[in-house]
Structure 1
Amino acid sequence: MVKESSDSIPNGIGFGGRANHFGLFLSANLDKGHSFACTTFNSPCLSKTNHFVVDVIECWGVISEGSNNGKTGLVEGTVLERFQEDHNMLKMVGLANASE
């Protein structure tokens, strides 16, 4: 068994598969990624090529019913409008423009 070190694990977020061969992987900068067929849910490759450059990222938020502290109705505003600290962090790294 090969032991992974933190130096050999890619910096980003991956779903399915295994390190360096994820069903879907996005780099920490959210600018590139890869996708491979994997046994997790029998997933096929999710892009035309295994390695790709990210063009657009769409972010969705899900809340459970009743988590509005007693307020009724839908949550108003985008995720980045409701979480200004996250929006300010994205501005610092130059990634906030697409959501404004």
Structure 2
Amino acid sequence: MLITHEAFQIQDIYSHHAQVRMNLRGITKEAIDIVLKFGREIRAKGAVFYVLGKREIQKFQKINPNLKALEGVQVVTSIEDGTIITVYRNKNLSQIKKCK
């Protein structure tokens, strides 16, 4: 599966670490697909973060009413090849230091 988010393509490639974290944290591939589709893209720390925050939930709630359950899910991908590095839940977006 190939997801195009603006000009950046993300392949359905999960690192071993990401698979372990998904299982531990109960985050499904379907949830990740939703975050990649509707989430905000933040380039920081040599990676691309896809974040589903309150803004995105309000903006896309009519399209997908189940977004509220995924608030705070963050997907971290490689800036080079789009490999999913890790996934986690954190509603505090201020910890992501944006690239200038």
| Structure of larger gyration radius | 1
* TM-score of the superposed pair, with normalisation by structure 1: 0.25
* TM-score of the superposed pair, with normalisation by structure 2: 0.25
Structure holding more strand per residue: 2
